[in-house]
Amino acid sequence: MTGFFSVRHSSLCSLLLCALGVGVLTLSFPVLRAHAQAPAKNKNVTRTRATHPLQELLDRAEKAIAEENFAVAVEALEKFIVSEPNDAFAHFHLGYAYTGLKDWQKAATAYRRAVELKPDLAAAQLNLGLILYEHESPAASIEPLRKAAELLANEARPHFLLGTALERSGKPAEAIAHYRAAASLDPRDPDTQLAIGRALLLTEDFAQAEAAFRQTLALDQQKPGARLGLAQSLIAQKKYPAAATELDAYLAASPTDTTAWMQLATLRFETEAYDEALAALDRAEAATGPTAESLRLRADIFQRQRRFDDAIAVLRRILEQSPQDAGLHARIGRLLLEKRDFPAAETELIKSLQLDPAPLDPLRDLISVYYLGEKYDAALRLMDRLAARETPTAFSWFIRATCYDKLMQKVEAIAAYEKFLELDQGQSHDRGIQARARIRTLKRELEQKR
């Protein structure tokens, strides 16, 4: 449903710079600091700090990053790495600087090198996962995020991010486990509860999803996604009045969500609140104009209200865009049959069967058109065609008998009435009385004719 399943994070850059203290950069490399000062050879000379060339590069990079002058930081760190290619921390900070420049590919390369050199560098694993999630694919981010979650087992955020990547990669059950791990570490975070509910919807555990969305709202009443998710979980459990209440509340906060308006219209239709359904449809169409989906629903509503002319007019609007849609012709034909406009119904139903002869309902409706329009020969021909594709019911035998009767085909009518009685077994009382009476009359007329 639109607006609900999109994962909502802070900006990538914000996460990269702030997650788990990564933003507090100190370019401290023990292997180099050991060489940072040189002792004076003459005790009578005041000791001064000797400057190591590599240390100068680190100091320059540290100062540049503090001032968010990331291009200068990159230049200094790359020169440093030429001399110290296996320093994991240098590659990590290079990734950080490239992140500041939004050069995601080079940032990912630097973070990859950092974790190759030092797999337990949790911040690098986390930042690599975030970049891959945003700029490659959620699936690509799973492994570095999984390692970050393992290394930072007591931190909620890595579990949440891993859950998000798993969910977006089509693994909602695994995602739920990590979302719940995050919730156990930070039980007051409404976003985590919202994510649990969202993933539970995907696994069709609707009762548990409902509980998670209610917990989200208990933590933060202003989470509109939780209202929508709660409505969806209630709809799946057929708790329609409660679902409508939640949709109303959601739409009060998100009035431009046309998909939710459509969902509310459908819900009102299912609960037979037709005027409210039409009002919701009007809101859905206000922003984007009518769609085939909204027009079909509008036609459904008019049909339920027995506003057949309005329903037909709406369906013809759809037909203008899809003139070869056999189902639309069949539906219009059915509505014309309801209006007892038999010639027009015949035209639409024949067109439907020409476009697609497979469905049986248009064939049955055309039989009704011919029967009610007193075209009994045509009705019998179509009944033969229908009988070749499905076993005739008791009612079908009754209609067949009536057609034979109207056509004065007495022997065939008697046989068909008898077949009806055999199959009906007294279930249709009035038709049974009529069939027995006609059998007696027809047999008497046949005897008199002899």
Report pLDDT digits (tens) over 344-380: 999 999 999 999 999 999 999 999 999 999 999 999 9
pLDDT at 34 over 60: no
pLDDT at 275 over 80: yes
pLDDT at residue 288, as a whole number: 84
59 & 116 share domain: yes
pLDDT at residue 302, as a whole number: 98
pLDDT at 421 over 60: yes
| Cα distance between residue 449 and residue 434, in whole Å | 22
Tokens, residue 221: 């009443």
Q: Mind listing the pLDDT tens digit for each residue in 298-343?
A: 999 999 999 999 999 999 999 999 999 999 999 999 999 999 999 9
438 & 329 share domain: no
Among candidate residues 159, 183, 207, the one where a domain is terminated: 183
Question: What number is the average pLDDT over the span 179-207?
Answer: 97
Q: Mind listing the pLDDT tens digit for each residue in 378-394?
A: 999 999 999 999 999 99
Question: What number is the average pLDDT over the span 38-67?
Answer: 62
Among candidate residues 368, 389, 410, the one where a domain is terminated: 389
Question: What number is the average pLDDT over the span 282-286?
Answer: 94
Host H or E run for residue 337: helix 326-338
Is residue 414 included in any domain, yes or no?
A: yes
Is residue 351 included in any domain, yes or no?
A: yes
pLDDT at 3 over 70: no
Q: Mind listing the pLDDT tens digit for each residue in 145-159?
A: 999 999 999 999 999
Is residue 236 included in any domain, yes or no?
A: no
3-state SS, residue 427:
coil
pLDDT at residue 49, as a whole number: 33
For 238, phi and psi rounded to 5 degrees? 60, 30
329 & 406 share domain: no
CA 386 centroid distance within chain: 39
What is the domain count for the chain? 3
151 & 56 share domain: yes
Is residue 330 included in any domain, yes or no?
A: yes
Q: Is 361 exposed, middle or buried (0-12, 13-18, 19+ CB in 10 A)?
A: middle
| Cα distance between residue 274 and residue 281, in whole Å | 10
Domain that holds residue 438: 391-450
pLDDT at 252 over 60: yes
Is residue 225 included in any domain, yes or no?
A: no
Is residue 216 included in any domain, yes or no?
A: no
DSSP secondary structure, 362-400, as one string:
HHHHHHHHHHHTT-HHHHHHHHHHHHTTSPPPHHHHHHH
pLDDT at residue 52, as a whole number: 60
11 & 59 share domain: yes
Q: 165: Cβ–Cβ under 8 A, 6 or more apart, which residues?
A: 129, 133, 138, 139, 141, 142, 145
